[in-house]
A = this chain, B = another copy of it.
Amino acid sequence: MITRNECLDWDQHDPLKNFKNDFALPKDVIYLDGNSLGARPKKSLTLAEQVITQEWGQDLINSWNKADWWGLPTRVGDKIATLIGAAAGETVVSDSTTVNLFKVLSAAVQIQADSDAQRKVIIAERDAFPTDIYIIEGYIDLIQKGYVLKLIDSVAELESTLKHNDVAVVVLSHVNYRTGYFYDMADINRLVHQHGGLLIWDLCHSVGAVPMDLKKTDSDFAIGCTYKYLNGGPGSPALLWVNPKHQNQFKQPLSGWWGHQKPFDMAQSYTPAEGIRRYLCGTQPILSMSLIEAGVDIFLASDMDQIRSKSLKLTDLFIDLMQQECADHEFELITPTDYRHRGSHVSFRHTHGYAIIQALIARGVIGDYREPEVLRFGVTPLYIGYCDIWDAVQQIKQVMQHEEWKAPQYQIRGQVT
């Protein structure tokens, strides 16, 4: 039997406990949705005031140089690089994850077409966050050269599909957005490369949540969100990393002036910048991009191994407490129990999942719902403690025991994000 006092004790001895002070969280809320929208770093407000009043209002266009707005995509990129195992100059922040996938997908397909034109299969997971599949569909429709999208359901199926030696590119979520399944990056890179494929990692649910080393594991391309675990603010621009061995091989088709070798020469034809800047496109939303630094700087002051260690203890605790307190209520755990394959959120399937989440939100426990029937709880070690998990599970127990989820207002399906 785990007790709340034990949780309290773990919180008191938690080496990360003070980081919670860096975030502005609402009172009376247990926020278990930082994997959807990260909490607000306190510094984001003063940073925004600085960008708005001084950089925009006072310095005006001079800020492109003075505040180095022009350098933001690589400056923020280089900070994130330390969390993903990249060297400086390999990462940019720009546009959205969806747009960035289009860029690297185009690059990867073209690199393959140049070396082996017979490879015309693109693999994605059936259970990927759908925008990844949609972008591949849109890309294939546009290029119309017999490319085929194959959806897989397991690593075994990935392996059997690769064996046909016609796969150009594989797109995988490093951590699955629904189940929290976490791929071994090194193993999968090796498998895909053995069969001549290139791999794009979608890091949306893993960057800032699990340690990784893109370079050491010989990854090819990676994209991901900055507004989830990195706490960059709603819809903040996305990251894009390319292994230097691929960077200059292909001119990605969203060839806007920010990716030009000499953007201010106003040249009449496109020459891509050397290196990662060629993956930029048009002018970036400076305010939304600036605030990412407030989020990432907190990570840089912390320790990724401690974050991972605490994340696993928190998800273990959640799983154990659900067994201890809510075993009667038919929650089916769909997150792997194996540490090697567990990200930083815990998901359960339940027939009344949608209504249960609504009832929990009304009680101040914010998780989210994903089709079909999945309750999802994100664990963010920088601002979530052991007692938070204890208290959240107690609230779930209350909702179930009192059948609160049966209330009519919780049955109405609205938009969820």
Chain copies in the assembled complex? 2
The verdict on A318 contacting chain B, using a C-beta distance below 8 Å, is: no
Q: Would you call A256 and B95 a contact (CB within 8 A)?
A: no
With known contacts A45-B53, A281-B96, A414–B65 Cβ distance under 8 A: yes
Q: Does A253 contact B (CB under 8 A)?
A: yes
- Within 8 Å CB of A102, what residues of B? 253-254
| A147 close to B (CB within 8 Å) | no
Q: Does A288 contact B (CB under 8 A)?
A: yes
Q: Which residues of B contact A286 (CB under 8 A)?
A: 233-235, 288
> Is B135 in contact with A254, judged by CB distance below 8 angstroms?
yes
Within 8 A of B (CB), among A227-282: 227, 233-238, 251-258, 260, 264-270, 281-282
Q: A323 near B: Cβ within 8 Å?
A: no
Once the chains bind, are A130 and B266 in contact (CB under 8 Å)? yes
Within 8 Å of chain B (Cβ to Cβ): is A327? no
A417 contacts B366, C-beta separation under 8 Å:
no
Cα(A284)–Cα(B129), bound, Å: 17
Checking B56, B69, B260, B288 against A285 with a beta-carbon cut-off of 8 angstroms, the contacting residue is B288
Nearest residue, chain B, Cβ from A225: B283
**Residues of chain B lying within 8 A (CB to CB) of residue A260:** 130, 134
| Those of A5-63 within 8 Å (CB) of chain B | 24-26, 29, 31, 33, 36-37, 39-40, 44-45, 48-49, 51-53, 55-58, 60-63
Which size bracket describes the interface of A in this complex?
Answer: 35 or more
- Decide: A417 near B60, CB < 8 A? Known: A52-B48, A288-B285: no
- Looking at A133, A251, A257, which has the most chain B CB atoms within 10 Å of its CB? A257
Chain B: which residue is nearest A44 at the CB level? B52
Point out the residues of chain B lying under 8 angstroms from A237, CB to CB. 285
Interface residue? A159 (CB, 8 A): no
Give CA–CA (A139, B253) in the complex, Å: 6
In the assembled complex, the CB of A178 is this many whole angstroms from the nearest CB of chain B, namely: 8
* Residue A301 is within 8 A (CB to CB) of chain B in the complex: no
**Shortest Cβ gap from A229 to chain B (Å):** 14
Q: Which residue of B lies closest to A67 (CB)?
A: B234
Task: Name 8 A/B residue pairs within 8 A (Cβ), A-sorted.
Answer: A40-B56, A48-B287, A51-B234, A56-B233, A60-B366, A238-B282, A285-B289, A287-B291
Known: A25-B57, A51-B234, A131-B282. 8 other contacts (CB 8 A): A45-B53, A52-B291, A61-B417, A63-B234, A96-B284, A99-B254, A138-B251, A236-B285
